[in-house]
Structure 1
Amino acid sequence: MAPLSFFYVLVPFLLFLTPALSTNSEGNALHALRSRLSDPTNVLQSWDPTLVNPCTWFHVTCDSNSHVIRLDLGNSNISGTLGSELGELKHLQYLELYRNEIGGKIPKALGKLKNLVSMDLYENRFEGEIPKSLSKLKSLRFLRLSNNKLTGSIPRELTNLSNLKVFDVSNNNLCGTVPVDGPFATFPMESFENNRLNGPELKGLVPYDFGC
């Protein structure tokens, strides 16, 4: 009977642990992000990796199921880079990292954030190309990447983001032509100014990225 009694004790214990392990994966992702960042004013001081639930950390918002849905680190005087760990925040809806000194490339893993509504990375030091993987973010409404050091062309795959309402890549070093399909037909030219872009595509012609 001893093994059976152990079973009855073990199963409820494991069921109790399951939610904690689930939320801990998000805490681990955020702690990995913290390890990449320089934080001279200690805005991330409350990010304690020994806590199972990151919902008590400052600048982190969770839903009623203790899933991280918002990360607010705009204008926080942080620097460093982003990594693929952000792709583990499966329920994230708002990624606010604007007005910092974050550099490096925008991770392709951000394309895993299927619930993302807003991504604000403007006024940082991001470089390299805009990831094509962002075209998987079908819920995305706001994508602001202005005032960085981005290069390459605007991915044509982004024209499939039918919910996109605001798109701003001004003040980068992008080249090629500006898409006109999908939501791009509604974006003002100010969204593209101060780049090496050549203006709108001509419908029916294959776009040619001059200078890319």
Structure 2
Amino acid sequence: MQHPCFVDRVWLLLLLLLHGPVYTRANNEGDALYAFRQALLDPSQVLQSWDPSLVNPCTWFHVTCNAKNNVLRVDLGNAMLSGNLVPQLGQLKDLQYLELYSNNISGIIPPELGNLTNLVSLDLYQNKLCGPIPEELGNLELLRFLRLNNNSLTGQIPMSLTRISGLQELDLSNNNLSGEVPTNGSFSRFTPASFSGNPDLCGAAVGKQCPNGPPLSPPPPVWPPP
């Protein structure tokens, strides 16, 4: 049986070939967002205003721009969208908030999202995403909120994420992640709740000894004793 992530990439390629390229007149960010629209199924028509003939996407619903007409936010949570994320999203260099939670988006997380170096919040939770968490997300030095919970992500948690010093909230729960959970860097502040629902994770952060790993340190004694 073919891997579902592979099937999603084939479906995305066919969809783009059927639609053909459509470009805004003079705005790369509009082109990037319209490529995303083409990769989605939108039964509720929430993207109806995403008109590729406009000079920029700043008048589109669910898109917020700054005074220079650079895209700062994409807010599409709970929008009943399905389809795939696209690499072109990595072109939104000023983007601070990518809110795509609680949809039916499938396929992989594009490594190109690591180019969004102004990103503060990445909310992809409660979708159908699969494949690994890209190492490139460790490049998001300004990120404060990373919520990827309730998907079907696999593989190990990238050590690169521990370099995001300002990360305040991390939720990787309810996926299919495996291996040892990092405890260094920003990960030292997160509780087991951030990693719950991943039976194959191990290490001190989740209180489960890794195969062939050192024994876990005993918990500190309760004081005063009972």
* TM interval, short-chain normalised: 0.7 to 0.9
Matches for 1:184-203 after TM superposition, within 5 Å: 184-195=187-198, 196-200=200-204
C-alpha deviation, 1:23, in angstroms: 6.2
One-letter amino acid of the counterpart of residue 175, structure 1: S
Tell me, in whole angstroms, the C-alpha distance in 2 between the residues paired with 1:39 and 1:108.
24
One-letter amino acid of the counterpart of residue 200, structure 1: A
Render the CA deviation track for 1:97-123: whole Å, top value 9, x for unaligned.
000000000000000001000000000
Tell me, in whole angstroms, the C-alpha distance in 2 between the residues paired with 1:89 and 1:23.
15
Is 1:133 aligned to residue 131 of structure 2? no
What TM-score does the superposition give when structure 1 sets the normalisation length?
Answer: 0.84
Render the CA deviation track for 1:166-191: whole Å, top value 9, x for unaligned.
11000000000111101111111111
Tell me, in whole angstroms, the C-alpha distance in 2 between the residues paired with 1:135 and 1:208.
28
Count of residue pairs the alignment pairs up: 185
Q: Which runs of 4+ in 1 moved over 4 A?
A: none
Tell me, in whole angstroms, the C-alpha distance in 1 between the residues paired with 2:58 and 2:187.
36
1:133 is paired with a residue whose SS is helix
Tell me, in whole angstroms, the C-alpha distance in 1 between the residues paired with 2:58 and 2:146.
25
* Correspondence for 2:69 among 26, 51, 66: 66
User: Residues 105 and 126 of structure 1 are in contact (CA less than 8 Å); yes or no, is this contact kept in structure 2?
Assistant: yes
Cα RMSD (Å) of the superposition?
Answer: 1.9
What TM-score does the superposition give when structure 2 sets the normalisation length?
Answer: 0.79
Structure with the bigger percentage of helix: 1
User: Residues 23 and 54 of structure 1 are in contact (CA less than 8 Å); yes or no, is this contact kept in structure 2?
Assistant: no
Identity of aligned residues (%): 57
C-alpha deviation, 1:199, in angstroms: 2.8
Which one has the largest radius of gyration?
Answer: 1
* Correspondence for 1:79 among 60, 77, 82: 82
